[in-house]
């Protein structure tokens, strides 16, 4: 066994876990500040300078709250559900390249050749945590939230999967590192002028790529239960939905799962459409460890911008009615994504690209 490979893999796993968990904590803080700015309020500003220690205070608050289990709940599944909600979001990040190389080590935990299939396969398991939690609580509002979530996930996973097919028609394989490498050599999919798209015919792909991006991003909003698709929680009508009967750290795990899924979804969006860790004029890590660190910083800066868009949309748009949500998924996004595949396939078949 190559122990150096094992050690570097463990270091990457620990490093990315620390970064993701820190981002989750401060994404909650950032969301509260963004919502306060949009609503002309102050937001958290008492605990530490500019309220920066608020996530630490929230962590202790959740740890010290009473851990209550309803008498009628199915105890085993009631305890299992929050773990099932948070694990897929963190596992999914394993195949996302978060940098080029650092000291000659590729900055991806598992560079598998079916990267995007792995993302969809693992991310789709997150719905089980919500559905089981809603059912195991043995309460009507959580149960309704779980049912809504299962229908919503099934509806928008189709659009999510179809939206990325044009990307892989161009790249030729499913490895996420290959997607980043293709964009470095030929231009970002969402911005073809960033890179070397010297072939003028490739500009025909700009509009289909923008359509793929928009469908994928909006479907990601639905997959992560973010407004305007937060029907499984819907505080005004379901009193919190699937997590109504949860408290203390089990509630915190659901919270952690939602924000971890948002961070992972943003990372996948950046990888597929915004060139991953690439930025024009900045070499990769093969030129030195400093450039490797800059590549990692560029990747997480792009992810932070996408997270801000998630937050901006949440505090700007109202929630859909459930019939509107289902109609949008089945009658619009599914058809748009499907037609977009045929358009890209026709361009690749009949145009010299």
241: confidence class by pLDDT, cuts 50, 70, 90: confident
pLDDT tens readout for residues 306-320: 999 999 998 888 888
CA pair distance 85, 301, nearest whole angstrom: 26
Confirm if 224 and 273 have CB atoms less than 8 A apart.
no
Map residue 101 onto helix, strand or coil.
strand
Range with lowest mean pLDDT among 151-165, 200-214, 230-244:
230-244
85: confidence class by pLDDT, cuts 50, 70, 90: confident
> Is 90 exceeded by the pLDDT of residue 341?
yes
- Average pLDDT rounded to a whole number, residues 40-60: 87
pLDDT of residue 197: 59
pLDDT of residue 2: 67
pLDDT of residue 133: 84
Q: Which of 90, 139, 92, 109 is nearest to 253 (CA)?
A: 90
> Is this prediction's pTM over 0.75?
yes
pLDDT of residue 271: 93
pLDDT tens readout for residues 175-188: 999 999 988 888 88
Lookup result for tokens 């773990």? 83
For all residues of the chain together, what is the average pLDDT?
A: 86
- Distance spanning both ends of the chain, measured CA to CA: 44
| Residue 101, strand partner residues | 106
- Average pLDDT rounded to a whole number, residues 88-115: 87
| Residue 105, strand partner residues | 102
């Amino acid at each position: 066994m190559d122990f150096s490979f094992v050690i570097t893999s463990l270091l990457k796993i620990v490093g990315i876990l620390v970064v993701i968990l820190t981002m989750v904590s401060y994404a909650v803080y950032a969301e509260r500040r963004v919502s306060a700015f949009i609503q002309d309020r102050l937001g958290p500003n008492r605990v530490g300078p500019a309220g920066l220690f608020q996530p630490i205070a929230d962590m202790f608050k959740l740890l010290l709250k009473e851990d209550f289990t309803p008498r009628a709940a199915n105890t085993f599944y009631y305890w299992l559900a929050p773990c099932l909600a948070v694990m897929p979001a963190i596992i999914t990040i394993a195949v996302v390249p978060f940098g080029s190389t650092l000291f000659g080590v590729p900055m991806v935990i598992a560079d598998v050749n079916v990267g995007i299939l792995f993302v969809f396969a693992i991310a789709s398991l997150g719905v089980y945590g919500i559905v089981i939690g809603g059912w195991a609580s043995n309460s009507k509002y959580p149960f309704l939230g779980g049912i809504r979530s299962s229908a919503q996930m099934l509806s928008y996973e189709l659009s999510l999967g179809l939206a990325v097919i044009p990307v892989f028609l161009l790249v030729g394989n499913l490895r996420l590192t290959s997607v980043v490498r293709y964009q470095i050599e030929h231009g970002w999919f969402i911005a073809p002028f960033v890179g070397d798209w010297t072939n003028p015919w490739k500009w025909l792909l700009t509009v289909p790529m923008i359509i793929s991006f928009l469908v994928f991003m909006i479907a990601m909003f639905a997959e992560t239960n973010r407004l305007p698709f937060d029907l499984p929680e819907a505080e005004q009508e379901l009193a919190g939905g699937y997590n109504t009967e949860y408290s203390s750290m089990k509630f915190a795990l659901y919270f952690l799962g939602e924000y971890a899924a948002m961070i992972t979804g943003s990372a996948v969006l950046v990888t597929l459409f915004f060139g991953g860790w690439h930025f024009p004029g900045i070499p990769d890590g093969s030129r030195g460890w400093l450039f490797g660190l800059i590549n990692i910083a560029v990747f997480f800066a792009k992810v932070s911008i996408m997270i801000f868009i998630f937050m901006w949309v949440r505090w700007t748009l109202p929630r859909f009615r459930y019939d509107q949500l289902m109609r949008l998924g089945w009658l619009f996004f599914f058809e748009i994504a499907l037609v977009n595949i045929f358009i890209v396939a026709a361009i690749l078949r009949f145009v010299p690209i």
